[in-house]
């Protein structure tokens, strides 16, 4: 890790709550965006104090909090509960909530009802998975709801995708993903999570959609920012982890130190590493 790298950071001395406008400005100015998942008030406060720009109450809570084998059983009430907890601890970070499986697929009206529950629980943006959801995104955005789309490895449909494997490796799959990203941007999605895709493909998506805040997880360093699951980067998750995860507690210190190391590594572009964590 370079200790001399110039870190593009806001010159604000007093920290203000992160807004969508601010995230877009960070993208335009080349300041990398650091995001993590969070599920409770105490870790949300630690992460916020460490300088995280965004927190996501992800349906990964099904695995890392509830001990289940997938995100599919997670309910809307459960995400709303964890959102209320995180919102209570968070002071500055932009807060996203995942729409769980089965709470938006029936159509835009169902997605609106589910999004309302998450917004009322404290979310500032909702996230949904899958390239088929473009019209749902347009519908939500037209009603004033900021939306983050999620492409690549979409855990809610991992069974259909053949498990947790790199997506968009062949030309046809890559073209389909690029088209979905363009359609989401055109429909008004402000943010896109790209999970487990080759770095070259993620770079193309970011270049083709210069105003879309692309957040990678196993998608290389050439996008607007990075997200990891909190338990994975703190070394809490048991068993084999995907190659794109780095344990930020390996160097020791407090949990706050680990969180600060993550923010710094993302901002300084030393995480993800182009060989170790990238496809």
Catalytic residues: 195
Closest-approach residue to ligand KIV (CB): 58
274: its two tokens: 């182009």
Tell me how crowded residue 223 is: count the other CB atoms within 10 A of its CB. 26
- Give the Cα separation of 52 and 67 in Å (integer): 25
Q: Which is nearer to ligand KIV, 27 or 38 (CB)?
A: 38
Give helix 108-120 / helix 76-89 axis angle, nearest 10°: 30
Q: How far is the CB of 217 from ligand KIV (least distance, A)?
A: 5
Structure tokens at 14: 């007093």
What is d(CA 118, CA 98) in angstroms, rounded to the nearest whole number? Answer: 8
Residue (66 or 254) nearer to ligand KIV, CB: 66
Are 206 and 214 a contacting pair, CB within 8 Å? yes
Q: Which residues are at the interface with ligand KIV (CB under 6 A)?
A: 37, 56, 58-60, 98, 193, 217, 227, 229
Residue whose CB is less far from ligand KIV, 98 or 222: 98
**Closest separation in Å from C-beta 252 to ligand KIV:** 26
Please report how close the Cβ of residue 92 comes to ligand KIV at its closest, in angstroms: 20
d(CA 141, CA 121): 19
């Amino acid at each position: 890790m370079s200790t001399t790298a110039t870190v593009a950071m806001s010159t604000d001395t007093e920290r203000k709550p992160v807004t969508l406008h601010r995230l877009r400005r960070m993208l335009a100015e080349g300041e990398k965006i650091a995001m993590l998942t969070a599920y409770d008030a105490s870790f949300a406060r630690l992460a916020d104090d460490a300088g995280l720009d965004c927190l996501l109450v992800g349906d990964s809570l099904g695995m890392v909090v509830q001990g289940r084998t997938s995100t599919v059983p997670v309910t809307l009430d459960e995400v709303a509960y964890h959102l209320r907890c995180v919102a209570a601890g968070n002071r500055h970070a932009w807060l996203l909530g995942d729409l769980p499986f089965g709470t938006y697929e029936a159509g835009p009206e169902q997605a609106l009802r589910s999004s309302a529950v998450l917004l009322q629980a404290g979310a500032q943006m909702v996230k949904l998975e899958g390239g088929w959801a473009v019209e749902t995104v347009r519908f939500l955005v037209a009603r004033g709801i900021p939306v983050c789309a999620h492409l690549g490895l979409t855990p809610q449909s991992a069974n259909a995708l053949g498990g947790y494997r790199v997506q968009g490796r062949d030309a046809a799959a890559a073209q389909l993903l690029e088209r979905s990203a363009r359609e989401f941007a055109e429909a008004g999605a402000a943010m896109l999570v790209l999970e487990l895709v080759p770095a070259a493909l993620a770079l193309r998506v970011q270049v083709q959609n210069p105003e879309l805040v692309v957040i990678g997880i196993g998608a290389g360093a050439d996008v607007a920012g990075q997200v990891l699951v909190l338990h994975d980067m703190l070394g809490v998750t048991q068993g084999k982890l995907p190659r794109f995860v780095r344990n930020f507690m390996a160097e020791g210190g407090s949990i706050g130190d680990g969180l600060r190391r993550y923010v710094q590594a993302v901002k300084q572009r030393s995480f993800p590493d182009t060989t170790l964590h990238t496809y």
